[in-house]
Amino acid sequence: MSKDNKKVNAERMTKWRTDSIYKPSDLNTHDPHNQHRWEEPAVSAWVWAGRVLGGLGFITGIYCLVFLGMLL
């Protein structure tokens, strides 16, 4: 392979990479024309209560671990 051919291939590949990176519409293969909206599935109040309590428990647990770590 000659130097000129390598240079042309390198430029072609670089252009392809940047074009594909900066065109997110190319990655949207399931709905290329944005015809459908994404909707979150409906969940009950129990699920939301569990999420809130779980998040609160996680934050409290991290706080306790840090506080106990300072005491040791």
Whether residue 41 contacts residue 48, with contact meaning beta carbons closer than 8 Å, is answered with no
- What b-and-e string marks burial along 31-44, b requiring 16 or more CB atoms within 10 Å of the CB? eeeeeeeeeeeeee
For the stretch 2-19, pLDDT in tens is 667 777 766 666 555 555
Confidence class for position 71, pLDDT limits 50, 70, 90: confident
For the stretch 18-66, pLDDT in tens is 555 556 655 666 776 777 777 778 899 999 999 999 999 999 999 999 9
How many helices and strands in the chain, by DSSP H and E? 2, 0
Residue 72 is predicted with a pLDDT of 76
For the question of whether the overall pTM of this predicted structure is more than 0.75, the answer is no
